[in-house]
Amino acid sequence: MRAFTQHQGVVGPMDRANVDTDMIIPKQFLKSIKRSGFGPNLFDELRYMDEGQPGQDCSQRPTNSEFPLNFPRFKGASILLARKNFGCGSSREHAPWALEDYGFRAVIAPSYADIFYNNCFKNGLLPVVLSEQQLDILFDEMSATEGYQLTIDLAEQKVVRPCGESFSFDIDEFRKDCLIKGLDEIGLTLQSAQVIKDYEKTREAEQPWVFGAIK
Amino acid sequence: MSAKTVYDKLWDSHLVKQNKDGSALIYIDRHILHEVTSPQAFEGLRIAGRLPWRLDTNLATPDHNISTDPLERAAGVAGIPDATSRIQVQTLDDNCDHFGIKEFKMNEMGQGIVHVMGPELGATMPGLTVVCGDSHTATHGALACLAHGIGTSEVEHVLASQTLVTQKMKNMRVTVEGTLGSGVTPKDVVLAIIAKIGTAGGNGHAIEFSGAVFRDMSIEGRMTVCNMAIEAGARVGLVAVDEKTVDYCRGRKFMPADKMFDKAAAYWRTLVTDKDAVFDTEVVLNGNDIAPQVSWGTSPEMVVPVTANIPRVEDQTDPVKRSGVERALEYMGLEGGTPISAVAVDRVFIGSCTNSRIEDMRAAAAIVKGHTVSTTVKQALVVPGSQMVKEQAEAEGLDAIFTQAGLDWREPGCSMCLAMNADKLGVGEHCASTSNRNFEGRQGNGGRTHLMSPAMAAAAAITGHIVDVREFVGEQS
């Protein structure tokens, strides 16, 4: 998992409440055997004029010119401004996979659905919680400024605006630590790699028939 | 040292690290992979730039999605009609080749349903932890393993670290004393247990099956019982080691040999529950009382003896149960109060990880021998659980008995158990099935499953309706 320490990037909008996981990545893409490559289908129904199918070349599809993330000024956006209850609906981990694959490193919203929030941390995506008023300010500044960028400093727990002022945010210490070190659940376990190796050594001495059998 | 259950012993011997929050890191000795729950785990490894922790613990085979039709099967992976299934099987092959994981490919000797293949190859040994991305992994507990199903993210975790983050379960003992009557099989025993304790009865527990009935049961029969522990809510089901266990293990492909086998066997024999060990929950049944069982509804606890009537809504006092019975009767198109033996079957399925081993094949063949499938039955499938079961059955001439009686003899795979391949029920069709789940739509959209033993399913194929197999047993003796 990619570590998250500090990130500066272009800000893009998803200006509606209760964006559900089916909106983030529609169900026809779940048949995939992959967990990458969902970026071109992020917000598929909003982004394109036709119905998306798995395995399509999305560069040839008609795009919805009224969908903000399609505006040239938001090209390459890596921070998503969103509204309350972002990521509601199913537990599919495909939602953070799609956001991450598109290029987003962080989402800023007033609240998230629980499972989506958890899933973000497993995939190196930082879900920042700010108040509705703070989000209003950011949405306003973004609309007024072409190429609007924010800096998110996870260590300092701050979202720094172009004017130099910042909003601080709360985050669970353990999750913060894992993100900063780039540790997913497996990464965490592998911090105990030596303990696992020691166990194997003892076990192999006692029960040699267990190892090396399958080849 | 305090007295321990088999489960306690298995847990203790695999504990790598106990965490402060109650979770623990346990070591995994065997990891079995199949095409449906592994692709994203492998891709996760690739994305993170990780490699499998070690290779000699992993074993893979395709089973869920593959065709059991001999012609389609002969065409190889390209012959799988459904595109998603084809891609999944191909992806398993590619991933195993890429990472160097031992795989028995679709048409290779050794291939089979994961829970049939593991024990028969000797990959499953007593005293091991065995996991697989499939909820019926408890099957391997018949060899006194700590075995249970895991999710895709855990498949990746096991591949990368050879461990699992988990919590210790509670101990439950299900004791069945006495002797089973003629025509009463391990499947009937486990269905009777589920009928008694319910589908949530084993929640949070590892079940040890104990008592004379299991001591007298073959290892394959114990697998049938442990297989369905999950249908009683328990992720783990197991039976302690005895001499049958040791004898079963001898001479199998991945098992140790000679002196190493004797050394292993000496350890395996310690995998019994200590005399004074205490179980959190105890359940007792009398084996003499168990008749052949049949499920009438849409949950594995909705089971009656074949001699009984289908339950009536008006007899249910508990309102939750009452609405459950009402809904199930409606879905199944059945009338409460009528004999279960009056239910006609449209299709028959003999197979699945519950009942597709050689003893199951023999039991079904013994019933159909010299008979013909009823003209009212549209299809009767016999699907051996593995290439090795198929080879053995054919060597014994069982395939000829089935085909002469009008049953289809198929290639090994999960087949009609779960409607992930072409073998499915049509809307409203009743099926006499030896599989493990009778949920709505499990065997096909709108399909109606009746769970039973292989002998009972074979008898239903001949009569065209659910029937007490003891009528056939009597006829033969």
Residue A70: alpha-carbon gap to chain centroid: 19
For residue B277, what pLDDT is reported?
A: 98
* Tens digit of each residue's pLDDT (9 = 90 or more) over B256-311: 999 999 999 999 999 999 999 999 999 999 999 999 999 999 999 999 999 999 99
Residue of A nearest to B161 (CA): A190
| E strand or H helix at A191 | none
- CA distance to partner chain B, nearest, from residue A146 (Å): 34
Residue of A nearest to B159 (CA): A186
Per the CB < 8 Å rule, is A190 touching B58? no
Instruction: Count how many residues are written for chain B.
Output: 477
Map chain B to HEC letters. CCCCCHHHHHHHHHEEEECCCCCEEEECCEEEECCCCCHHHHHHHHHHCCCCCCCCCEEECCCCCCCCCHHHHHCCHHHCCCHHHHHHHHHHHHHHHHHCCEECCCCCCCCECHHHHHHHHCCCCCCCEEEECCHHHHHHHHHCCEEEECCHHHHHHHHHHCEEEECCCEEEEEEEECCCCCCCCHHHHHHHHHHHHCCCCCCCEEEEEECHHHHHCCHHHHHHHHHHHHHHCCCEEECCCCHHHHHHHCCCCCCCCHHHHHHHHHHHCCCCCCCCCCCCEEEEEEHHHCCCEEECCCCCCCEEECCCECCCHHHCCCHHHHHHHHHHHHHHCCCCCCEHHHCECCEEEECCCCCCCHHHHHHHHHHHCCCCCCCCCCEEEECCCEHHHHHHHHHCCHHHHHHHHCCEECCCCCHHHCCCCCCCCCCCCEEEECCCCCCCCCCCCCCEEEECCHHHHHHHHHHCECCCCHHHHHHHC
Task: Find the CB nearest A210 among B29, B122, B161.
Answer: B29
For residue B473, what pLDDT is reported?
A: 64
Q: Where are the beta strands (DSSP E) in chain A?
A: 6-14, 79-82, 106-109, 126-129, 149-153, 158-160, 166-168
Per-block average pLDDT, block size 10, for chain A (215 residues)?
A: 95 94 87 89 95 90 97 97 91 90 97 90 94 98 97 98 97 91 92 97 97 92
Per the CB < 8 Å rule, is A215 touching B58? no
Residue from A203, A210, A211, A215 to probe the interface with B (highest B Cβ count within 10 Å): A210
With contacts defined as CB-CB under 8 Å, which chain B residues touch A211? 56-57
Among B9, B38, B46, B44, which Cα is nearest to B132's? B38
Per the CB < 8 Å rule, is A213 touching B87? no
Task: Find the CB nearest B16 among A35, A196, A209.
Answer: A196
Residue from B157, B249, B260 to probe the interface with A (highest A Cβ count within 10 Å): B157
For residue B151, what pLDDT is reported?
A: 86
Residues of chain B with pLDDT under 70: 1, 473-477
For residue B1, what pLDDT is reported?
A: 61
Residue A54: alpha-carbon gap to chain centroid: 21
Q: Taking the CA of residue A161 as centre, how many other CA atoms within 13 Å lie in the half-sphere pointing to its CB?
A: 14
**Is the Cβ of B43 closer than 8 Å to some Cβ of chain A?**
yes
pTM of the model: 0.91
With contacts defined as CB-CB under 8 Å, which chain A residues touch B17? 192, 195
* Tens digit of each residue's pLDDT (9 = 90 or more) over B155-183: 999 999 999 999 999 999 999 999 999 99
Roughly what angle, to the nearest 10 degrees, separates helices B114-121 and B387-395? 70
Task: Find the CB nearest B163 among A36, A196, A208.
Answer: A196
* DSSP state at residue A166: E
For residue A118, what pLDDT is reported?
A: 85
For residue A174, what pLDDT is reported?
A: 85
Residue of B nearest to A186 (CA): B157
Task: Find the CB nearest B40 among A35, A184, A212.
Answer: A35
**Is the Cβ of B39 closer than 8 Å to some Cβ of chain A?**
yes
CB B204 within 8 A of CB B169: yes
Per the CB < 8 Å rule, is B55 touching A215? yes
What 3-state class would DSSP assign to A68? helix
Which residues sit opposite B450 in a β-bridge?
Answer: B432
Per the CB < 8 Å rule, is B40 touching A34? yes
The Cα–Cα gap between B189 and B200 comes to: 17
Q: What are phi and psi of B408, to 5 degrees?
A: -85, 130
Residue of B nearest to A94 (CA): B40
Per the CB < 8 Å rule, is B162 touching A213? no
